[in-house]
Structure 1
Amino acid sequence: MNLFLQTLIGGLLAGVMYSLVAIGFVLIYKASGVFNYAQGAILLFGALSFVTLTEHGAPFWLALPITGAAIIVASILIERLVLRPLINRDPLTLFMATLGLSFVIYGLVQLFFGSDVHMLDLGIDDVPLAIGGISVSQFDLVASGAAVTLVLVLSIAFSKTRMGISLRAVANDTLAAQSIGIQLPHIWRIVWSVAGLVSLVAGLLWGARQGVQYSLSLIALKALPVLIIGGFSSVGGAIVAGLLVGATESLADIYIGPLVNGSVSTWFAYILSVGFLLVRPTGLFGDRAIERV
């Protein structure tokens, strides 16, 4: 029983950080209706910018706001140079634009930061803590606590503030939102900036765990099953689905892995998401498409 509980708790803690990555996708999808393929590249850019500043002697309290400002500037440039010319275009066109954008960011990151692996120390010791007879990683607890705090702040901001109400209006009906004076480019700039800052936090947490390297951008792909299961347009769905994915893949690795003589955590979440696509294509909390006939 202790093994089950320890595995379950570890999976739930990892699932919180999966949710954090997925929320960046959800915010942009709600605002523009497009799956942002460049989210992983932005995550990598943020983590590499931060770790490069710290390696050159910048303290944490200075490196973090500088990197955050760089993310915001990059988001404004993306809105002005990539998204604004494509307003009211087909969602597939926007997706292809983000696909091309991701390769541009990867190229610039390699040009300015190189391709070496960087170790990132956030000052959080990865030591086991005994809680009720169950061993839990101190790093996982602190990282999950930070992720939960950020998720709560975002949930309140997007449900109670004027900007959050405007975002919901754009998500529900873009043309109607524009007709009452909501500036779509302004919303896009804010959403891309917030999604970029969320990616920065996710990149720092995951980078501290496995090093800041190009494979870090693949963490964003782990958000895809979370999005499919929770629904592309639901922040709450991203949280619930992240917990579900984290818990099930950890348990599957322990109980199914020995049966197939290998780890299943790398692909189990995708099998789970395929099952949801067959049974509930819109996800647990996704908006169902309404067709007029």
Structure 2
Amino acid sequence: MGFFLETLLGGLMAGMLYSLIALGFVLIFKASGVFNFAQGAMVLFAALAMARFAEWIPKGLGIESKLVGNVLAFVAAMAVMVVVAWLVEKLVLGKLVNQEGITLLMATLGITYFLEGFGQTLFGSDIYKIDVGMPKDPIFLFENVFQGGVLVNKEDVYAALIAAALVALLSLFFQKTATGRALRAVADDHQAAQSIGIPLNRIWVIVWSVAGFVALVAGIIWGSKLGVQFSLSLVALKALPVVILGGLTSVPGAIIGGLIIGVGEKLSEVYLGPMLGGGIEIWFAYVLALLFLLVRPQGLFGEKIIDRV
């Protein structure tokens, strides 16, 4: 029982991180109606910016405090992501208002390759570390209940709590603020939103900035765990099955979908891996997403699209 709980908790914490990245996909889709293929590249670009600024700023300003250096690096990296958001709106999305979805999808593919290449040019292609002070020591829980307790990594616990807090804040932002309601209006109909005075350009800058903030937090967490390297954008793509499972328009769906996939891949790897030869954790999420596309393409919480003729 203790081993099962250990695997379950590991899956839940991994799933929370998947949910955090999936939120970026949901945010962009809700505001522009386009599936943002660039979210993985945004996570990588933000993590590279944070890692490099955390090196450059303390040296350049003579700062000895790691906390102050990390805070300044975070602010600088966030400023970079806001600039990226403004440029995306000004140079790409602003030129493609009311275009077909496939046109916007191809635009985000172009943004993906640009961010990956420009990130390598600007920040270098080495493997960098991000140290924000999260403890990496393991801890034992429920020692009085199970023999030996349940082994959990402290870093995973902190990362899951940060992800959960950010998910909750973003959910409140969408439901309770005027800007959040404006974002949903823009997602429903660009022209109708413009006709009632909602500034489309400003809304897109806001939502890409928020998605950049989410990408930055996700990049810091994953960079702290795995190091900042270009395979990080591939890790971020694990969120694709999450949004398919939960629904492209649903913030709660991103959360539930992430938890289901996180737990499912861990349990299947541990309990089915020995029988099927291992490697299940690599493809489990994508097979589950494929099944959902066949039986419920809008996802668990997505809106069903009905075309009337």
**Bigger CA drift: 263-272 or 244-253?**
263-272
1:241 maps to amino acid: G
User: Are the aligned partners of 2:6 and 2:150 in contact in 1 as well (CA < 8 Å)?
Assistant: yes
Q: Give the equivalent residue in structure 1 for 2:20.
A: 20
Q: Give the equivalent residue in structure 1 for 2:300.
A: 284
User: Are the aligned partners of 2:21 and 2:214 in contact in 1 as well (CA < 8 Å)?
Assistant: yes
Matches within 5 A, 1:207-226: 207-226=223-242
Following the alignment from structure 1 to structure 2, what is the Cα–Cα distance between the partners of residues 242 and 226? 5
User: Are the aligned partners of 2:16 and 2:259 in contact in 1 as well (CA < 8 Å)?
Assistant: yes
Q: Give the equivalent residue in structure 2 for 1:103.
A: 113
Matched, 1:115 2:125: yes
Q: Give the equivalent residue in structure 1 for 2:4.
A: 4
Structure 1 portions without partners, runs of 5+? none
- What percentage of residue pairs aligned between the two structures are identical? 53
Following the alignment from structure 1 to structure 2, what is the Cα–Cα distance between the partners of residues 116 and 171? 39
Matched, 1:93 2:103: yes
Across the two proteins, how many residue pairs are aligned to each other? 293
Structure 2 portions without partners, runs of 5+? 59-68, 143-148
Deviation at 1:206, TM superposition (A): 0.5
Following the alignment from structure 1 to structure 2, what is the Cα–Cα distance between the partners of residues 222 and 175? 33
**Bigger CA drift: 229-238 or 269-278?**
269-278
**Bigger CA drift: 88-97 or 167-176?**
167-176
User: Are the aligned partners of 2:98 and 2:190 in contact in 1 as well (CA < 8 Å)?
Assistant: no
Q: Give the equivalent residue in structure 1 for 2:160.
A: 144
Change (3 A) 1:57 1:170: closer
Deviation at 1:220, TM superposition (A): 2.1
Matches within 5 A, 1:246-285: 246-285=262-301
Deviation at 1:56, TM superposition (A): 2.4
Deviation at 1:252, TM superposition (A): 0.5
Following the alignment from structure 1 to structure 2, what is the Cα–Cα distance between the partners of residues 76 and 114? 23
2:5 maps to amino acid: L
**Bigger CA drift: 171-180 or 197-206?**
171-180
**Bigger CA drift: 109-118 or 171-180?**
171-180
Moved >6 Å (runs of 4+):
none
* Partner secondary structure for residue 129 of structure 1: strand
Matched, 1:183 2:199: yes
When the two structures are superposed, what TM-score results if normalisation uses the length of structure 2? 0.93
Deviations 1:271-293 (A, max 9, x none): 11111111111100011111112
Deviation at 1:54, TM superposition (A): 1.4
User: Are the aligned partners of 2:14 and 2:160 in contact in 1 as well (CA < 8 Å)?
Assistant: yes
Q: Give the equivalent residue in structure 2 for 1:79.
A: 89
Deviations 1:156-194 (A, max 9, x none): 111111101111111223222211111111111100000
* Partner secondary structure for residue 307 of structure 2: coil
1:70 maps to amino acid: V
2:217 maps to amino acid: V
User: Are the aligned partners of 2:17 and 2:218 in contact in 1 as well (CA < 8 Å)?
Assistant: yes
1:110 maps to amino acid: Q
* Partner secondary structure for residue 136 of structure 1: strand
Following the alignment from structure 2 to structure 1, what is the Cα–Cα distance between the partners of residues 117 and 180? 34
Deviation at 1:260, TM superposition (A): 2.1
Deviation at 1:112, TM superposition (A): 1.4
Deviation at 1:7, TM superposition (A): 0.3
When the two structures are superposed, what TM-score results if normalisation uses the length of structure 1? 0.98
2:99 maps to amino acid: R
Following the alignment from structure 2 to structure 1, what is the Cα–Cα distance between the partners of residues 96 and 184? 21
Q: Give the equivalent residue in structure 2 for 1:135.
A: 151
